[in-house]
A and B are shown apart, each in its own frame.
Chain A
């Protein structure tokens, strides 16, 4: 029995808990289910005795490997299970059955995808993540959230369709559905890379994230931030490690969002751009390949799930309690939400890679891999992006929400209450993990796909990181004092989504109008021709028409003679 349970994918209890939650109207029981699902999954994870492929099933002649437990998948699986538990804890106060169910099914799909040993199983869970997660955006129940959700769903499903297409081509060429190193040598590989690129929010296909995360519910954004992009990073690490093109894409991805994160007024949008920048460092590290770089990408993914999840939690708490996360309307919330402020600072410290936080241990591996390989310019670009992260997230998020002077006409701090106990517990636990894994970094490194022998606490590394952070903090304080810091203000900052939300929509609308007019014109022409033909026929054949008129017998004789002559000529030549 124990062996049978150990051979089931840990995704199963999480998804089943989601389905049960959907069918359970009783609040207490439902919340117990949401916590029990991830705990059971964790128990199954720990019950696995040795790496291997379990949960093999035959479907329609295909062998599906639902539980591949190896060095890479076990790390991501565990982190996803921890994130699912933290999310359930964070959502304890929530009354929405839909969100409870969607969050668990989505998390379970993420766990299932990282344990998938073949491309068909991966595709199934890949699409399930898209279908389940969109409800976390729609749960906001605003027209703009509904439209953002639709766009999100379209692009996520497209990613799945591309994955299936690429998988079919790849399997045909490779003779196997196994999900291992894919590479870009075959057309199937290129199509699969595009599918992964969409979910990883590569530049130009990133707006599904920066648009939908701020539109999701406070709880929804926390859940969304944990799984989709990190699943894509896992898929890239497994399928495309060492592909050079990922280095260039990663560098662009790390630098491009810096400006947007800095000026965004919505603090959850800032976090979404900040997440994209961090994903860029991971993508570049995967492109570099090698044990240290892949280990660094994995460590950063773990760290990102924790500290980015924590920051989304704190901003979700601010949204829930203050009614907005617009930086231009916030400030002074430390009076009403001191514990949330404390946890925000813990998340900020981790994202700034302050020594003794998980961000420091994670980032150190990835960036040092580039330095060791002699890729100085790439290293410099990624270091600059990391320094900018100190500014646009590490400083901006806590300062704008909690420590900036309250804005005129903004949120009335005296009416704001501290976050509910469940939220505080989840934030506290996430903050604890951010610090615990920073101090006890060996626990993190032991879980990495490759055993890391790197010591992040060398004098050179600690002092250099402190120098970067202190310099950015000083620059911020100085420029803010001089009025040169671009304080966020209400407004829309145009991004690539302008191409389809404005230009593409305009072109499509113009095309639709033109087609409509063309149809109307053609309709008019056809109607006019029809009317004219009907009139002619009427004129000829009706009882008052030409053929009914009295014809003079002389003319009739001539016509008869002419027709007879014509028949004779035809008969002569035909004979």
Chain B
């Protein structure tokens, strides 16, 4: 944004985050995150950890825990939302609320 006129309504400090709107940001971000996750998980094989919980000392355990928790939460949310979701004014909103 520097050197160009700022778009209407854009804060002067928005330049701090302008990179997030770059066309390639999402694809690059995905690659960076996956590589970082793999690299951090791989660190367990280079330098083994100690842990109070026996099975947690296994290499890559925490990466699997994070991955599993996130994937289960996201995938389980679909059927749960389908069964529990109602229209926005289900309780009547400002006019009713029962």
Contacts and interface: CB of A to CB of B under 8 A. Distances in A.
A238 B81 CA distance: 38
A332 B11 CA distance: 12
Nearest to B88: A490
A493 B9 contact: no
B98 A464 contact: no
Contacts of A502: 91, 98
A478 interface: yes
B62 to A, nearest CB: 4
B81 A493 contact: yes
A152 to B, nearest CB: 13
A456 B59 CA distance: 20
Interface residues of B, number: 65
Contact of B26 (A259, A468, A481): A481
Contacts of B74: 262, 391, 475-476, 479, 484-486
For the complex, would chain A's binding face be called helix, strand, loop or mixed by DSSP majority?
helix
Contact of B65 (A383, A416, A494, A495): A383
Given A413-B9, A418-B11, A473 B69 contact: no
Given A335-B7, A460-B49, A494 B86 contact: yes
A143 B65 contact: no
Nearest to A143: B94
B36 A371 contact: no
Interface stretch (A105-113, A130-138, A337-345): A337-345
Contact of B40 (A392, A413, A463, A505): A463
A505 B66 contact: no
Given A341-B17, A403-B17, A471-B41, A371 B53 contact: yes
A501 B30 CA distance: 43
Interface string A378-390: 0110011001101
- Chain A's interface size range is 35 or more
Contact of A387 (B41, B70, B93): B70
B24 interface: no
B34 A335 contact: no
Contact of B84 (A387, A418, A460, A493): A493
Contacts, number: 204
A338 B20 contact: no
A258 B73 contact: yes
A362 B66 CA distance: 19
Interface in A395-430: 402-403, 413-416, 418
Contact of B49 (A376, A463, A501): A463
A475 B34 CA distance: 8
B61 to A, nearest CB: 8
**Which one of A263, A332, A501 has the highest number of Cβ atoms from chain B below 10 Å of its Cβ?**
A263
B87 A492 contact: yes
B42 to A, nearest CB: 10
B17 A338 contact: yes
Contacts of A262: 73-74, 77
Nearest to B69: A387
Contacts of A380: 53, 65
A262 B78 CA distance: 10
A336 interface: yes
Nearest to A416: B9
Contact of B52 (A371, A387, A485, A490): A371
Contact of B98 (A392, A474, A481, A505): A505
A477 B71 CA distance: 11
Given A471-B63, A471-B66, 10 more contacts: A142-B94, A144-B91, A334-B21, A371-B56, A383-B65, A390-B66, A463-B62, A479-B70, A485-B74, A492-B85
7 A-B pairs with the lowest CB-CB distances in the bound complex, closest first: A414-B9, A471-B66, A371-B52, A387-B69, A475-B70, A468-B66, A474-B37
13 contacts: A144-B91, A334-B17, A335-B17, A338-B17, A380-B65, A415-B9, A463-B43, A467-B40, A467-B66, A475-B71, A476-B70, A492-B89, A493-B86
